[in-house]
Amino acid sequence: MTAATDTIADYTPKVAIVTGAAKGIGRAIALRLADDGFDVVVNDIPQQLASLQELVDLIKAKGKNAVAVVGDVSVEEDVERLVAETVQVLGGVDVMIANAGTGGFGTIFNVDMNNFDRVIAVNLRGVVLCYKYAAIQMRKQKRGGRLIAASSVLGKKAVPNLQAYCASKFGVRAVSQSVAQELLPYKITVNTYAPGLILTDMTDSPKDAVLGGKHGSHIKSLFNRTPDAPDAEPPVVASIVSYLCKPEAYFVNGQSISVCGGLTMD
Ligand code: NAD
């Protein structure tokens, strides 16, 4: 057997956690991973419990197990409990999708530092906490694993009036490159997805109205793109994440994969 085949054989994933799963990209990832054969723990903030429970029912209808665990990814105890409950109910963790995220616009002249801190706490600190507790568990299991987080095309090239969001998404890539190197001995890969304009609540701006009303027009204008520039639905991102979770993706590590219709190229 070759070394590559050994690496694939060590990793036979069964259980995934998806944060920020109540809607948008996280929800699509949870459903896709259930289709791929995973039992899935879905997380979001407590206010989203009803949506999480509906998602749990949809996953169970596909014949896979699912559990909702509410909690704030920026709170260390919540993330520790998320992983602990997953292990208790489903027996382990093979895949952590640190997807939860938040945003907020503002010029540097009136930047609200409470909002700045909140965006960094959810988007960056939250990813670090998800990586930490999943990695501790995966190291114990000795069967490899996948840590995957949401970056963004805005984590590769910044646009105006989104200082905190861009900083957090650049930071997610930096953390992921660092952790990917640390976890090489454990056969745990660490990658990020970097979506462009995906049609979710996050990109549904009131400022779309002044640009003709099409969902995403305001964000596209930040890239100097017209409302007709490419966009996509959440399952397009879930498809890339699905691949990264597979045994055959063992050789993709420390990468940030753009799914953006060519909005930016690197
Ligand atoms: P969304 O707003 O539709 O969903 C985000 C989910 O995260 C929500 O359900 C929200 O309740 C949850 N969440 C927020 N704070 C949380 C916290 N502290 N703890 C737990 N859950 C929390 O957003 P989306 O468009 O589906 O985005 C998902 C991820 O992809 C985010 O990290 C986002 O930054 C990133 N992303 C989105 C786009 C896009 O075009 N939609 C582009 C690039 C990156």
Per-residue model confidence as pLDDT tens digits over 150-164: 999 999 999 999 999
Candidate from 55, 170, 200, 208 with most ligand 1 atoms within 8 A of CB, to mutate:
200
CB atoms within 10 A of CB 201: 8
Cα 202 to ligand 1 centroid, rounded to whole Å: 7
CB atoms within 10 A of CB 106: 14
CA separation for the pair 179, 118 (Å, rounded) = 23
Q: How confident is the model at residue 11 (pLDDT cuts 50, 70, 90)?
A: confident
Who's near 52: CB < 8 A, 6+ residues apart?
A: 21, 22, 42, 43, 44, 68, 70
* C-alpha pair distances (Å), 105 with each of 118, 164, 213: 13, 9, 19
Global confidence as pTM: 0.98
Based on the residue annotation, tell me whether 165 is a catalytic residue of this protein: yes
Provide the Cα torsion 150, 151, 152, 153; round to 10°. -140
- Spell out the CATH class of 15-196+233-259: alpha beta
* Amino acid 4: pLDDT: 67
CA separation for the pair 228, 214 (Å, rounded) = 9
Q: How confident is the model at residue 219 (pLDDT cuts 50, 70, 90)?
A: very high
Numbered ranges of CATH 3.40.50.720 in the chain: 15-196+233-259
* Amino acid 223: pLDDT: 86
> Whose Cα sits closest to atom 3 in ligand 1?
24
CA separation for the pair 169, 37 (Å, rounded) = 29
Instruction: Encode pLDDT of 246-263 as tens digits.
Output: 999 999 999 999 999 998
For 194, phi then psi, to 5°, come to -125, 80
**Mean pLDDT on 56-83:** 98
Question: What type of residue is 224?
Answer: N
* Amino acid 5: pLDDT: 65
Cα 193 to ligand 1 centroid, rounded to whole Å: 13
- The tokens for 67 are 């559990």
Instruction: Encode pLDDT of 225-239 as tens digits.
Output: 999 999 999 999 999
Ligand 1, CB within 6 Å, residue ranges: 19-20, 22-26, 43-45, 48, 72-74, 99-102, 122, 126, 150, 152, 195, 197-198, 200-203
Contact between 46 and 22 (Cβ < 8 Å): no
For 21, phi then psi, to 5°, come to -95, 0
- Three-state secondary-structure class, residue 230: coil
Task: Indicate the average pLDDT of the chain.
Answer: 96
CA separation for the pair 115, 151 (Å, rounded) = 19
Is the pLDDT confidence value at 266 over 90? no
Instruction: Encode pLDDT of 192-213 as tens digits.
Output: 999 999 999 999 999 999 999 9
